[in-house]
Structure 1
Amino acid sequence: MSLPPGFLDELRTRTSLSQVVGRKVIWDARKSNQGKGDMWAPCPFHQEKSPSFHVDDRKGFYYCFGCHAKGDALGFIQETENVGFMEAVEILAREAGMPMPARDPQAQQKADRRTQLIEIMEQAVAFYRLQLKTGAASAARDYLSRRGLDPAAQERWMIGFAPPGWQSLRDHLASRGVSDELLIELGLAKRSNNDRPPYDTFRNRILFPIHDARGRPIAFGGRAMDPDDKAKYLNSPETPLFDKGRTLYNFAPAREAAGKAKTLVVAEGYMDVIALSEHGFSATVAPLGTAITPDQLALMWRIADEPVIAMDGDTAGVRAAMRVVDVALPLLQAGKSLRFCLMPEGQDPDDLLKNQGAGAMQKLLEQARPMVDLLWQRETEGGSFDSPERRAALDRNLRSAIGKIQDPFIRAHYGEAIKRMRWSLFNPSRPRPAWQPKGARARVTASVTTRASMLAQGDSRMDEILREQVILAVLLTHPAILPQFEDALERLEFLDPDHGRIAAAMIVHLEADDLRAALEGVVGAAPLEKLFAPRHVSLCPAVRDREDSDIAALCVAEELGKLHAHRGARQEIEEAMRNAEIDGNEGMTWRLGQAAEARNRAERAQTEDRTEFEIGANGARINRGEQRAFDSLLEEISRGKAK
């Protein structure tokens, strides 16, 4: 059976040789470097103890320095599975998720035609490169020089020039026996509407050849020299050789550079790729006039685990980065992700390199942000979340985005990261008061009257800390009620740092099957043991009764209400004290007295008994009014018997 043209190339591109070989060998951990795709193991083809079998995962080849066995993934399967070539192709195709093509009796003829088309493309590249050296291309050479590309760089990138004439390339190739139909099929020419010969697709443009994974020319990208041209950049149309959604500019050289531990950078256009490569960032690719596609992401992840998407620092660049996030989310795998490097506003990589040099670019790449940051920025930037409805809309959008992730473990980690960011957004640190010096706590000297007061002698915050303990202990004992108090827990500012850490971990692990175990993994066991140690916590009915979630919810709601009342009074008193010490007038002294009275009222309100039920000896709830009526009846009966 003959395979269609390009099938084996795509199969090899999608296949990881280290995964294929890894099923038959045990990698040597000391000698292998998985990040670089440089793997070593004892040879599976002959008996040995030392790891002389080498796999270059980036290039897709293996070689044994002992027995000199060599080949690619197909050859390895043939040798180790004892199968024929087509069976090896079928095995790899199944693993790569590629359907085997139907039997095509004309496959060899198509393969020969593909070879013919590539030869014509090579002739076109040579023609355009010669045209760049002519007088008609003087403006193009000046432009390239201004962009920092000397003649040597132009040769390295095989840059050419399409003359302004309508049929320059067509006439040249026709003289060499190339038919008009082949030129049209390759996208090098277009049909005329007035029965004239086809005319050239590219005219008066600087041309950048586009190559396939094996380094063969398959298309062109052209930059217009005429400022009035409708299309500044023009790519070849899709042809039997060129599928723009499955091709990356500079892929073959970038693959080799990434195999030498270079960071894979994804830029926006040809000139960005060339500028970055000329400044040492040789593992750089670019999409071809379209947004990044899933197939292009697969190509990137084939040669690097975490490519860096470098976008221009303008609005269009940011929007393009956000579109990449949507494409990548469903495709994420463990160890396969993206990072994002946004240029300074109004600059592209070429501008940055010219103005600040390679060092500035390297610094930006090192500071590239993970994809979850871009997702959070997209959903929150410029938004206002000052109402429950707006927060609910934010949560809905974030859940929808995270829900696109197919891998459940990655989806869970994204959920935890988003919850931490949400916590930070809705619980910012309290700003430094105007009266407090920066970097230090202000010292306030109390007056004699104030120092003698009960308010100054006692710890006014201890009661709040005790209530924090009860709230957290009850929620930890009854995790089922945690969702209804999530918002209140986020807003609450804890005085005890351990309490704040426990609350944050609760929200992050809201849906954990075993909440206590999840919290121990984050904050440790000691803070949780300390939380339940105080007697007032252990004696709390909602902590002792692990079954009654209704009582637990009532307890938490009541404690939150009391805590807010006490805290409001305390903060008013503290502010009045500071103002009294600073101003020292009778008005502030009066305010201090009023604040103290407000706190007393709050505390009296807290001690009022407003519960409707009591817990009986058997654990049942008894209505307090009914209990009192029953007690009165018993008392009357007792008095009657006494008479």
Structure 2
Amino acid sequence: MSLPPGFLEELRSRTSLTQVVGRKVMWDMRKSNQGKGDMWAPCPFHQEKTASFHVDDRKGFYYCFGCHAKGDAISFVRETENVEFMEAVEILAREAGMTLPARDPQAAQKADRRSELAEITEAAVRFFRLSLNQQAASGARDYLARRGLEAAAQERFELGYAPEGNALFAHLTGRGVDPQKIIDAGLAARPDDGRAPYDRFRGRIIFPIRDPRGRCISFGGRSMDPNARAKYLNGPETELFDKGRSLYWHGPAREAAGKGQTLIVAEGYMDVIALVQAGFGATVAPLGTAVTEDQLRLLWRIADEPVIALDGDKAGLRAAYRVIDIALPLLEAGKSLRFALMPEGQDPDDLIRASGAGAMQNLVDGALPMVQLLWARETEGQVFDSPERRAALDRVLREKIKLISDPSIRSHYGQAIKEMRWQLFNPRRSNNGGRGQGRKWQPPGTPQASTKSSLLAAADSRVDDHIREAVILATLIATPSVIDEVEPQLERMECRDSDHDAIRAELLALPPGADARAAVGARIGDDALENLMRIPHVAICPAVRHPGDAEQARLTLDEAFGKLSALRGLVAEIAEAEEELSGVADEALTWRLREAAEARNRALRSQQEDKAAYDKGPNGLMMDRDERSAFDALLNKITYTKPRR
């Protein structure tokens, strides 16, 4: 089967070679530079231990310095999937959302229309540029000067002017260009009544839109007539131009992002120009539409965490919320968005003019994670003074989190939402390090539950997490090679013992290959270190008795972190339940306590160290007797304060 000459070119431009190859290799991130699309891995075509297989995502080619294999995305799929050329093209076309052309034996003889149309748009760029210097464009030049765009900036962004009337159509046809091709390039339109074609852009400042390879694929125009129906106008979709798959300033922004600049997504042409002029070279904008799924994928090919910079008004917030709904199902590990909201009534140009580029940089540096904006959308201006309203909030947030397909990200979002929910409904614990004086809402006439019930203190006394902390720290001292694997859990582990906290800090700062025992001993003293290692549960731990056994260390750490999380989760649920007791029986409270107890039971059921006698709790859950007493006391409080029906 023959393909149109422009089809493969378009397929390669829409395909990320890094993503295609990444399904078959494990990247060496120490050697790779993801921002520049410069990736290294052990070669998938021959056996090797070092990363000699190089992928240049921007150029779309790979090369192995060991076996000398080389090619592009199509050849890689052919070799790794053992398929023919057309099958490889079909695989990549499906992933890129492209329809494979119908079989046409004459396709090779057809003119490359895309190249022809691109030549026409390039001729239009030159015409618009020349028109900007004519007398009729004086108003446009004055406008650009007021916006701070002098001749050098106009040249850099190739700004032009579309005169009134049909000047462009007359210019191109006068040079022998087929009128139909001018229409097909999106530069002119033919009226339904059959009259002569007319220019799409008239009396407007022109912004050329280029693809990542630098070809002009369409134009945007800003009207100089304040009464125009549309202030900004984009070219129509053509064989060259797909609004939902294109970005303004794509190519230069990708290059700047590859050099380490933060990728910023602004609202329009002038925002991009203002930001680029202020030094934010990695700035792009969607083209007259809300950000689409395809545009998000384009953004993530440039940078892992683009910053969405939107005007600080209601329209800007609505745009940000739409982006969240589109992005949630597409999130992957390491791929997310942050949001920088301008001060109300200002766009990036206004902010930079008023306060300088430093103010914009501060906004970018302090951009909000997407989960915070999601939370703000569902809670801003709302009052949650009843169980029904709180339950409605929980339902909405659960439905949003369910949209996330990646289970790990979904779990982290759930945890973040839970923490923000706790801060909203339990202000006393969110102020002054958890000891604030704020009072939570209570139903009228209902007395505050006693603050001296000591359930939390009792739970803390029963949960001997000091031992779990000691096992974790001793295991990492014995086998420091696994520290990197559990670094997130270790960072989140709150040590109540000062020596444990000092050991944790030392392990987190430990350089690769360093002697962990010596470093910890120097930090807390050899005597304190020996005391840690002599704790009975630590001394008999297999991972401590067999230092350097990474597999045993992983098993021990997984088990210990799980126990610690489950026990502290039970403590937190009891504490939260105690604070929420307000004289109204709530079945959700008992359910949450049972769930927490069940999680605790699962974590401890198989452990050798738990020798205490057990009772059966609700639904047959195993609890030690102290825990059962505290649990029953809490349920009794709910029962005794239940209002009469």
TM-score, normalised to structure 2, is 0.69
CA displacement at 1:196 relative to structure 2: 3.7
The answer to whether the aligner puts 1:492 opposite 2:491 as a matched pair is: no
Residue 209 in structure 1 maps to residue 208 in structure 2:
yes
**Structure 1 counterpart of 2:217:** 218
Counterpart-to-counterpart distance in 2, 1:485 and 1:395 = 22
Contact 1:419–1:507 (8 Å) recurs in 2:
no
Partners in 2 of 1:279 and 1:215 — Cα distance? 22
Which runs of structure 2 are paired with 1:342-491 in the superposition (5 Å)? 342-429=341-428, 464-465=454-455, 468-469=458-459, 490=576
Give the structure 1 partner of residue 317 of structure 2: 318
In the aligned structure 1, how far is the partner of 2:431 from the partner of 2:571? 28
Match in the other structure for 2:34? 34
Mapped to 2, the partners of 1:140 and 1:93 lie a distance apart of 43
Alpha-carbon distance change, 334 to 42 in structure 1, aligned in 2, over 3 angstroms: closer
Q: State the Cα distance separating 1:188 from its structure 2 match.
A: 1.4
The Cα of 1:490 is off from its aligned counterpart by 3.1
Give the Cα–Cα distance (whole angstroms) in 2 for the partners of residues 108 and 330 of structure 1. 40
Relative to structure 1, is the Cα distance of residues 545 and 246 closer, same or farther in structure 2, using a 3 angstrom cutoff?
closer
Report deviation, 1:543: 9.5
Q: Number of aligned pairs?
A: 515
Distance 2:597 2:17 in 1: 38
SS at match of 1:429: helix
Equivalents in 2 of 1:544, 1:289: separation in Å? Answer: 57
Q: Distance in 1 between matches of 2:309 and 2:65?
A: 40
SS of residue in 1 equivalent to 2:309: strand
> What is the distance in 2 between the residues matched to 1:130 and 1:19?
42
- Specify the SS of the correspondent of 2:55: strand
Q: Which structure has the greater CA radius of gyration? A: 1
* Match of residue 167 from structure 2: 168
Q: Give the Cα separation in 2 of the matches to 1:106 and 1:51.
A: 44
SS at match of 1:219: strand
1:146 maps to 146
Q: 1:101 to 1:297 in 2, by over 3 A?
A: same
The answer as to 2:14 corresponding to 1:8 is no
Matches of 1:26 and 1:488 in 2, distance apart? Answer: 44
Task: Give the Cα separation in 1 of the matches to 2:296 and 2:597.
Answer: 33
Instruction: Give the whole-Å Cα distance in 2 for the aligned partners of 1:139 and 1:183.
Output: 27
SS in 1 for 2:112: helix
Q: 1:559/1:9 Cα in 2 relative to 1: closer, same or farther (>3 Å)? A: same
Out of 537, 555, 559, which is 2:634 matched to? Answer: 559
Q: What code does the residue aligned with 1:33 have?
A: N
Does the CA-based 8 Å contact 2:329-2:405 persist in structure 1? yes
Q: Which amino acid aligns with 2:377?
A: R
What is the CA–CA distance in structure 1 between the aligned matches of 2:17 and 2:594, rounded to whole Å?
Answer: 39
Change (3 A) 1:282 1:431: closer
Amino acid in the other structure paired with 1:104? D
Distance 1:208 1:291 in 2: 19
Q: Tell me, what secondary structure is at the counterpart of 2:241? A: coil
Letter in 2 for 1:295: D
For the residue of structure 2 that corresponds to 1:287, the secondary structure is coil
- With normalisation by structure 1, the TM-score equals 0.69
Q: Deviations over 1:570-622 (max 9, x none)?
A: xxxxxxxxxxxxxxxxxxxxxxxxxxxxxxxxxxxxxxxxxxxxxxxxxxxxx
Instruction: Label 1:5 to 1:471 Cα distance change in 2 as closer, same or farther (>3 A).
Output: farther
Which residue of the partner structure matches residue 300 of structure 1? 299
Contact in 1 for aligned 2:570/2:600 (Cα 8 Å): no
Shift of 1:67: 8.9
Cα shift readout 1:198-228 (whole Å, capped 9, x = no counterpart): 2211111000011123211111100011111
Unaligned 5+ runs, structure 1: 441-459, 495-503, 567-643
| Closer/same/farther in 2, CA of residues 558 and 79 from structure 1, 3 Å limit | closer
| Shift in Å, 1:114 | 1.9
Deviations 1:156-176 (A, max 9, x none): 111110012x21111111101
Alignment of 1:78-157 (within 5 A): 85-93=85-93, 100-108=100-108, 112-157=112-157
Contact 1:20/1:73 (CA < 8 Å) preserved in 2? yes
Give the 3-state SS of the residue equivalent to 1:62 in structure 2.
strand
Following the alignment from structure 2 to structure 1, what is the Cα–Cα distance between the partners of residues 6 and 597? 48
- Which ranges in structure 2 are unaligned for 5 or more consecutive residues? 438-449, 464-561, 581-588
Hey, what's the Cα distance between the residues in 2 that align with 1:407 and 1:439?
36
2:584 aligns with none
Task: Kindly provide the amino acid, as one letter, of the partner of residue 296 in structure 1.
Answer: Q
In the alignment, residue 160 of structure 1 is paired with which amino acid?
Answer: G
Query: What is the RMSD computed on CA atoms of the aligned residues?
Result: 4.6
1:7–1:177 CA distance, 2 compared to 1 (3 A):
same
> Do the aligned residues in 2 keep the contact of 1:14 with 1:298 (CA within 8 Å)?
no
Query: Which residue of 1 is the match for residue 534 of structure 2?
Result: none
For 1:470 and 1:66, the matched residues in 2 are separated by 59
* Contact kept in structure 1, 2:574 and 2:593, CA below 8 Å: no
Is 2:71 the partner of 1:55?
Answer: no
Residue in 1 that maps onto 2:329: 330
Write the letter of the residue equivalent to 1:297. Answer: L
* 2:363 counterpart letter in structure 1: L
Residue 273 (structure 1) shift = 1.0
After superposition, the Cα gap between the structure-2 partners of 1:411 and 1:49, relative to the gap in structure 1 and judged at 3 Å, is closer
Q: Distance in 1 between matches of 2:38 and 2:327?
A: 26
| CA 280–77 in structure 1, closer or farther in 2 if over 3 Å, else same | same
Q: Which range moves more in the overlay, 10-19 or 202-211?
A: 10-19
